[in-house]
Amino acid sequence: MKDPARPPAFWGLAALLVAELAAAAAVAIVLLVDLVAAEPSSLATALALTVLVLIAVAWMAVTIVGLLRGQAWVRASAIVWQVLQFAIGLGALQGSFAQPAWGWPIVAVSVLTFALLFVPSVVRATQGRGSREG
C-alpha cells in the first residue's frame, strides 16, 4: 500500500474546503451573471471584484488538489484562506448593512477548518514535500 489510510479529520478538512470552493464558485457565477445582465455603477470595480473571486476559486481548487496529494504547502495556503474568510465573515457581522445570516456561518466554517488544519493526524497526512511519483 503506497499511502496509509487517511484519517477522518483529513476527510473532514477536505469536505470543508470543497464546501468553501463551492461557495466561492457560486459567488463567482453570480458576479459573472451580474456583470453581463446588470449595469454596474462602476465597471472597473465590478471587473476587479469578479477577477479577484475567480482567482480565489482557482486558489481553492489548487489547494484541494494539493491536499488530496498530501502536500505540506496546502496547510499554509488553507490557513491564509481561512484568515481572509474569517475577516469577510466578521465584516458581514458589522455595520449598518450587517448580514449575520451568512456572516456567522462563514466565521464558524473558518474557525472549524482552521482548527482541523492543526490536528496531528491531518499534519501527518499532509507532509509530502514533492511529487508523489513512485
Write the pLDDT tens digit of every residue in 65-105: 999 999 999 999 999 999 999 999 999 999 888 999 999 99
What would the mean pLDDT of 34-38 be, rounded to a whole number?
Answer: 91
Whether pLDDT at 1 is above 50: no
What confidence score (pLDDT) does residue 69 get? 93
- In-domain check, residue 22: yes
134 within domain boundaries? no
Range of lowest pLDDT (1-10, 25-34, 70-79): 1-10
C-alpha cell at 77: 495556503
Q: What is the span of the domain harbouring residue 64?
A: 9-125
Give the pLDDT of residue 127: 87
Does residue 3 surpass a pLDDT of 70? no
Burial 29-48 (b: 16+ CB within 10 A, else e): eebeeeeeeeeeeeeeebee
pTM: 0.87
| Helix, strand and coil in the chain, % to nearest 5 | 75, 0, 25
52 within a domain of the structure (yes/no): yes
Question: How many domains is the chain partitioned into structurally?
Answer: 1
Residue 55 falls inside a structural domain: yes
Q: Assess if residue 31 is contained within a domain.
A: yes
Question: Do residues 121 and 12 touch, judged by C-beta distance below 8 A?
Answer: no
| 107 in any annotated domain | yes
Is 130 a member of any domain?
no
For the segment 45-73, what is each residue's pLDDT rounded down to a tens digit?
999 999 999 999 999 999 999 999 999 99
- Residue 53 inside a domain? The answer is yes
